[in-house]
Amino acid sequence: MGHVDHGKTTLLDNIRKTTVASREAGGITQSIGSYEILHNGKKITFIDTPGHEAFAAMRAHSAKVADIAILVVAADDSVKPQTLNALKYINEEKIPFVVAVNKIDKLGANVEKVKSDLANAGVYLEGFGGDVSWQEISAKEGTGIPELLDLVVLASDILELSYDQSADAEGIVLMSRLDRKQGNVVGVVLRNGTLREGDSIATPTAQGKIKRLSDATGKQTKTLIPSAPALILGFEALPSVGEQFKTGASAVSMLCEQKTTGRNVDGVVAEKLSLIVKADEAGSLEAMKSVLGKLCEKFPLAIAFSGVGDIYENDVKLAEQTNGVILGFKVRVDKAAQNLARGQNIELIQSDIIYELEKSLEEYFNRRIPKNFRTIQILAIFGDAKGREYVVGGKITKGVIKNQEHFDLWRNKKPIGRGRIINLQSQRKDVAEAPEGIEVGLLVESDMPIREDDLLMFAE
């Protein structure tokens, strides 16, 4: 991090040229802005931070990208406004850092002035009244770079950075883009746990299953450990840059914490079912969340509020505001709350047995799934998507379907998107409509990728 033109990119380029194996060329790291190098037998992952989106975005997502920062200051220019901005960020996020005094080869380089200006900014270097490690370097010539990397490794040893190999994986999204051939491509840096091909994965705004996992060289792999950069295929939608991701059970739990941001269109309930969850104690509440986490894999659910204690009027009012359902585990319902719920037709599900709550919620949700809709079941996808257009084959399982109609896209009993038929064919001929029970070909426009076994649902 540091001021513009102080040599951040040149430094990173030099590190990559001298320490990254040649097989990395053409790998994935350039596309996701993260680079894994090997220095004296130890791996270091560099995030190409100049202006990197994740550093701005992560504040909004309460996520931390880096374990250690390198503050780059040019010896011929000293401390500048962006240097101070970088320091402000480092201090706010409490990131340990080392200083690289760059461009010592240039005419007019003045290392003593840099030390003095840094001290005025509250940064006291080792040997100059402080304990901040630093190194004179020339990013252009390569001078001092091995020693700088030694300082990074030493800092990591002092900090005793570690990870739990048995934990669900978690990390930060650095890049997110739609590739016409591969679908949603997401670049991440892993911060804890083990990332595995086949794992469920989620961020606060997207979810999926890891279909393909590539390491820093672009090679497909089954597992990765921190702090590896990785490229992931398998997200159903594109997550936002800077978001935290989790896998396994932690991913399922994260899905349930997502906000309800859906919509009602043509009578189809497209938003998540909002839940207000109350339990008698913290342990019971965690047990409830665990059960709901599993249900999130089957149904679009979101916890709008969770807390310990009995159910009162405020809980019912929140359920009314969010069009939600109240779940009570081993708690009482205040009489006023009960009357309000009855008057406002708010569903209130209670039990002292957790699995009865689970069963009742499933039954309630199944009652919400539209019954009076015409449907096409997708049987095949033909070719690659062209933007938002897909060529698909399907069977009309209910009703008569007309050309140019709008539909809701459902997957695993969940509404996930919307679209429109552009062209409808039966027996390879364009038709205005097609009856129930036959197979059809369709050119459709959809705001979400379409898969086999998806349902296109049309309002009556």
Relative to beta strand 69-74, strand 97-102 is: parallel
Helix, strand or coil for residue 234? strand
Tokens, residue 186: 């997401």
How far is the C-alpha of 443 from the C-alpha of 206, rounded, in Å?
A: 26
Print pLDDT tens along the chain (460 aa). Answer: 888 889 888 898 888 875 543 334 334 445 567 788 889 999 999 887 544 455 555 544 445 678 999 999 999 999 998 899 889 888 888 889 999 999 999 999 999 999 999 999 999 999 988 999 999 999 999 999 999 999 999 999 999 989 999 898 999 988 888 877 788 899 999 999 999 999 989 887 788 899 999 988 788 999 999 999 999 999 887 887 788 899 987 776 666 665 443 333 233 333 567 889 999 887 788 788 778 877 776 777 778 788 889 999 989 998 888 778 999 999 999 999 999 998 888 889 999 998 889 889 888 877 766 667 899 999 999 988 888 899 999 999 999 999 999 998 887 666 778 899 999 999 999 999 999 999 999 999 998 889 888 999 998 7
How far is the C-alpha of 269 from the C-alpha of 276, rounded, in Å?
A: 18
How far is the C-alpha of 409 from the C-alpha of 406, rounded, in Å?
A: 10
How far is the C-alpha of 275 from the C-alpha of 436, rounded, in Å?
A: 37
Beta carbons within 8 Å of 144's beta carbon, 6+ residues apart: 100, 104, 135, 136, 137, 138
Q: Are 100 and 135 in contact (CB under 8 A)?
A: yes
Q: Are 154 and 184 in contact (CB under 8 A)?
A: no
In this structure, which amino acid lies at residue 192? N
**Residue 219: closest CA among 203, 197, 194, 251:** 197
Domains of the chain: 8-159 (3.40.50.300), 170-256 (2.40.30.10), 266-362 (3.40.50.10050), 373-459 (2.40.30.10)
